[in-house]
Chains A and B, each alone.
Chain A
Amino acid sequence: MISTFASFLLGKLSLNQLPNNPITAGGAIILVLIPLAAVIFISVTRRWKWLYREWLTTQDPKKIGKMYIIVAVLMGLRGLSDVILIRLQQALSVGHAHGIISASMFQQVVSAHGTIMIFFVAMGLMFGVINMIVPLQIGARDVAFPFLNATSFWLFVAGMVLINVSLVIGDFAATGWLAYPPLSELKYSPTVGVDYWIWSLEIAGVGSLLAGVNFIVTILKKRVKGMKMMLMPLFSWSVLGSMFLVVFAFPILTVTLTLLAFDRTFGMHFFTAGHGGNMMMYVNLIWAWGHPEVYILVLPAFGVYSEVVATYARKKLFGYTSMVWAIWAIVILSFIVWLHHFFTMGAGSDVNAFFGIMTMIIAVPTGVKLFNWLFTLYRGKINMKTPVLWFIAFVVVFTIGGMAGVIMAVPPLDFQLHNSLFLIAHFHMMIVSGVLFGYFAAITYWFPKFFGFKLNERLGRYAFWSWLIGFLLAFVPLYILGFMGATRRLDHYSASLGWQPLFIAAGVGVVFIICGVVLQFMQLGVSIWQRNSNRAGRDPWDGRTLEWSLPTPPPSFNFARLPIVTKRDSFWYDKQAQFTDSRPYEPITIPKNSPLSMVIACGAFFLGFAFVWHIWWLAVVGLLVVIVTIIWRSMDEHTEYELDADEVMRIDRALTPKEAGL
């Protein structure tokens, strides 16, 4: 009687699910302590009200963007600590030694690393930068659907929390970051690990999907009058391409995860071995999302590079039209290459050759972009600031990684390199240079716009060099290890293979990367410390796009008067013509703060948690919270307030003279 009640109340949850080895326990304690410390800090400094009003309930995409980036950075640290474990294990677990963690835990760490880095770091940085920049660049006061935007963010947070809860209660998927069945089916993974994986991605994925819808509409509908599509800054174009991919790819992820969840939770047979399931269908579906996902992440970073290169070369972007066409070529092609992730499944030569060639064709628009960037620099006046350094590192690393990519796109060569560490080196070179370096450049570039001071250049340089050296040291050995026959996700190998020195070298590379990260934090700290000697005005880099026309930091409504756009880089030419705006101010409607986005995400979190542990009453509660909140919100017709013209003028005036001296 009591046990039935307990199982009703708690599902599969019990005290046994708490960590039972020192490393997980340590991780869990840290994960509990950090939020606890934050809560205490906020309480002591009496900042709850401020936090609630200014951040938690905000609908301002600039603030939401900052929160995305903060979450992504925190998750980056978690992902980096996974890296440390992986490198230590692979450097030590040789021959008779079995390393520092068990095989099962190693596999969980590997899976968590991939999942977290893609979904919560890369996606977080991307959406953060998009939120902060896109409305400013297209001359909009807001995104199309501010409430939806906040909801997307909080769903992202809910997914993030759920994946971290797995470290404290239960376990995580030990299946690799894409959880191929039948390994990820109940038969071979009976614990809740895979369920955590499914539900945290499901929740965050729905958030991304909604954000994709939001930014497509924002870019297509909210551009300031006069900004025709072909006048848009290239970053916004890239985001549009990326968001199209989100809208077409993420529903596939949602379906795939749901079907796997149905297999595991309700005993269905979509991907099971036997009973008419088809595991290869999962692999097809997950890559039909997964390959576009790569371009979802990379395209906005390409956009960042386009802005950075043009600004610091002080030159118009070369081949604008080509650049736009290249983006759309990539968008379309990225949907017809997914099979290259499993040439080894034994499909016919015609199928393999077709997908191989399609894959290579993507190299053409990518190459075109590369040449256009180079020729933007050509005949420019290059200001060698850190964003440019990140760009140079990107070109070098991305080209090497891209060559490896073309090699693996040849099916017979893929037979020799698939799932080897060569592949790992390849995609890290693509994603780290094409995504992470891009967002590092973006943060350095746009930081002064939002905080009013520049980041310390010298420390930025040091961080850059640590990163670059560390990165090459960490991944060039992996190419060689791939040739030596080392496969991914190995928790142990025999000493006679001669792999250990290379693994150790890769580990040394990680040490350099860690130094780079430490330097980046120092850079931030020092820059804040010396902010008064580092002040930046509206336009510290002599920018070209509209965001640089705004006061620093921009007011919540961005533009007191909507800008006039007649050509590409209008602001650049306005500066040369010394244009001053003397049009009258008008009242502005601004969305009111709302805690309901957070409430919806809470409901979603509990829904996910309930599905992981089979606590069905909680699932019902979570679902009801979501539904009722949405209905509640829909009944509210007063979600905006108006700032009258006097007030707008007052704010704008107050922001302007402050910078007169700069």
Chain B
Amino acid sequence: MSELIADAKMVQLNKQIERSEKSSTAVFGFWVYLMTDCVLFASLFAVFSVLRNNTYGGPSGAQLFSLPYVLIETLALLSSSFTCGLALLSAQRRHKKQTLLWLGVTFALGLTFLGLEITEFHKFVTMGDSWHRSGFLSSYFTLVGTHGAHITIGLLWMAVMGVFIYKRGLGPLALKRLRMLSLFWHFLDVVWIFIFTIVYLFGALHV
């Protein structure tokens, strides 16, 4: 009878393996999800490329975009990616305060980016160049806006993460989620670099 029940040590060991497997499974799953997001953005980029010259008498990218402004946005986001990395590093060293601090900085930078983007959108809309104006503007607002929506979700996640770490410390669950959050944030950074190049740079430079 008793030989049919595994001994406690063995069970403990297997449990540990199982837990670490679960965590790596979750992170792998998140990678797969990011791949789907990648396809989503790729489709939006394709749509933008098809419609970028369809201004239908409305303004073109060159007339609308101000590169210095976008550069500031870009810098805010890029540095937030860096501080997000710092947050993860601190978390891996189990420095709770430092983690929260860097998360806070990342959040602030992300919020700045979002604020800048919304201001830019608002400016275009009040100038009468809103998404109804042309196929080009529809695709511009949608592509950049989808990225913005992702940033918003990321910020929300970051806030929840902050509360979570503050209340419950840096357990394995928090670490796993932080790893996924930072993946997400870096991913959005990469997407933004494409947006910056394809939408703003090529747009402003008439490429």
* Residue contact B40 to A254, C-beta cutoff 8 Å: yes
- Chain A: minimal CB distance from B174 (Å): 10
A586 at the interface (CB under 8 A from B): yes
B164 at the interface (CB under 8 A from A): yes
**For chain B, which range describes its interface: under 10, 10 to 19, 20 to 34, or 35 or more residues?**
35 or more
A275-B134, A285-B43 given; A270·B35 CB < 8 A: no
Interface centre among B7, B54, B177 (most CB of A within 10 A): B54
* Residue contact A586 to B6, C-beta cutoff 8 Å: yes
Tell which of B18, B50, B134 touches A281, judged by Cβ atoms closer than 8 Å: B50
B132 at the interface (CB under 8 A from A): yes
A275-B135, A281-B50 given; A220·B28 CB < 8 A: yes
Cα separation A434 to B5 with both chains bound (whole Å): 47
Q: Is the interface of A mostly helix, strand, loop or mixed?
A: helix
* Residue contact B4 to A649, C-beta cutoff 8 Å: yes
B75 at the interface (CB under 8 A from A): no
Interface centre among B5, B28, B133 (most CB of A within 10 A): B5
Chain B residues positioned under 8 Å from A269 (CB to CB): 54, 56, 132, 134-135, 138
Contacting residues of chain A (322-373) with chain B, CB-CB under 8 angstroms: none
The interface stretch among A230-238, A243-251, A468-476, A517-525 is: A243-251
Q: Nearest B residue to A588 by beta-carbon distance?
A: B18
Q: Nearest B residue to A275 by beta-carbon distance?
A: B56
Chain A residues positioned under 8 Å from B4 (CB to CB): 582, 584-585, 649
A278 at the interface (CB under 8 A from B): yes
* Residue contact B5 to A585, C-beta cutoff 8 Å: yes
* Residue contact A584 to B25, C-beta cutoff 8 Å: no
* Residue contact B36 to A584, C-beta cutoff 8 Å: no
A-B contact count (CB 8 A): 133
Chain B residues positioned under 8 Å from A20 (CB to CB): none
B44 at the interface (CB under 8 A from A): yes
Tell which of A213, A222, A631 touches B32, judged by Cβ atoms closer than 8 Å: A213
A252 at the interface (CB under 8 A from B): yes
B37 at the interface (CB under 8 A from A): yes
Q: Nearest B residue to A220 by beta-carbon distance?
A: B28
* Residue contact A276 to B135, C-beta cutoff 8 Å: yes
Q: Nearest B residue to A278 by beta-carbon distance?
A: B50
Chain B residues positioned under 8 Å from A272 (CB to CB): 135
Cα separation A254 to B113 with both chains bound (whole Å): 26
* Residue contact B135 to A270, C-beta cutoff 8 Å: yes
A205-237 near B? 1/0 per residue, CB < 8 Å: 000010011101100111000000000000000
* Residue contact A584 to B3, C-beta cutoff 8 Å: yes
- Chain A: minimal CB distance from B152 (Å): 11
Chain B residues positioned under 8 Å from A213 (CB to CB): 29, 32-33, 36
* Residue contact B43 to A221, C-beta cutoff 8 Å: no
* Residue contact A252 to B33, C-beta cutoff 8 Å: no
* Residue contact B32 to A247, C-beta cutoff 8 Å: yes
B131 at the interface (CB under 8 A from A): yes
Tell which of B36, B40, B51, B160 touches A270, judged by Cβ atoms closer than 8 Å: B51
Chain B residues positioned under 8 Å from A582 (CB to CB): 4
Cα separation A212 to B33 with both chains bound (whole Å): 9
B33-61 near A? 1/0 per residue, CB < 8 Å: 10111011001101100110011101000
B1-36 near A? 1/0 per residue, CB < 8 Å: 001111100110011001001001110110011011
* Residue contact A585 to B6, C-beta cutoff 8 Å: yes
B136 at the interface (CB under 8 A from A): yes
A259-B142, A270-B47, A631-B160 given; A144·B36 CB < 8 A: no
- Chain B: minimal CB distance from A372 (Å): 30
Cα separation A254 to B133 with both chains bound (whole Å): 24
A44 at the interface (CB under 8 A from B): no
Cα separation A248 to B47 with both chains bound (whole Å): 17
A27 at the interface (CB under 8 A from B): no
- Chain A: minimal CB distance from B16 (Å): 13
A245-285 near B? 1/0 per residue, CB < 8 Å: 00110111011101100110011111010111110010001
* Residue contact B134 to A251, C-beta cutoff 8 Å: no
A587 at the interface (CB under 8 A from B): yes
Cα separation A355 to B38 with both chains bound (whole Å): 25
Chain B residues positioned under 8 Å from A285 (CB to CB): 43, 46-47
A16 at the interface (CB under 8 A from B): no
Tell which of A221, A251, A281, A585 touches B47, judged by Cβ atoms closer than 8 Å: A281
Tell which of A212, A251, A276 touches B55, judged by Cβ atoms closer than 8 Å: A276
Chain B residues positioned under 8 Å from A645 (CB to CB): 5-6, 11
Cα separation A270 to B135 with both chains bound (whole Å): 5
Chain B residues positioned under 8 Å from A627 (CB to CB): 156
A15 at the interface (CB under 8 A from B): no
* Residue contact A637 to B173, C-beta cutoff 8 Å: yes
Chain A residues positioned under 8 Å from B47 (CB to CB): 255, 259, 270, 281, 285
- Chain A: minimal CB distance from B123 (Å): 18
B80 at the interface (CB under 8 A from A): no
Q: Nearest A residue to B56 by beta-carbon distance?
A: A276
* Residue contact B43 to A255, C-beta cutoff 8 Å: yes
Chain A residues positioned under 8 Å from B50 (CB to CB): 278, 281
* Residue contact B28 to A221, C-beta cutoff 8 Å: yes
A662 at the interface (CB under 8 A from B): no
Cα separation A270 to B39 with both chains bound (whole Å): 19
Cα separation A277 to B10 with both chains bound (whole Å): 64
* Residue contact A262 to B32, C-beta cutoff 8 Å: no
A4 at the interface (CB under 8 A from B): no
Cα separation A482 to B15 with both chains bound (whole Å): 63
Cα separation A149 to B139 with both chains bound (whole Å): 33
Further 12 A-B residue pairs, CB within 8 A, beyond A248-B39, A259-B47: A145-B26, A213-B29, A217-B25, A222-B25, A255-B40, A255-B43, A268-B132, A270-B135, A276-B58, A278-B135, A582-B4, A627-B156
Q: Lowest 6 A-B CB distances belong to which pairs?
A: A276-B135, A276-B54, A268-B138, A276-B56, A251-B40, A251-B39
Interface residues, chain B, CB within 8 Å of chain A?
Answer: 3-7, 10-11, 14-15, 18, 21, 24-26, 28-29, 32-33, 35-37, 39-40, 43-44, 46-47, 50-51, 54-56, 58, 131-136, 138-139, 141-142, 156, 160, 164, 168, 173, 177
Sample 10 A-B pairs with CB under 8 A, ordered by A number.
A213-B33, A247-B32, A248-B39, A252-B39, A254-B40, A268-B132, A270-B142, A278-B50, A584-B5, A585-B6
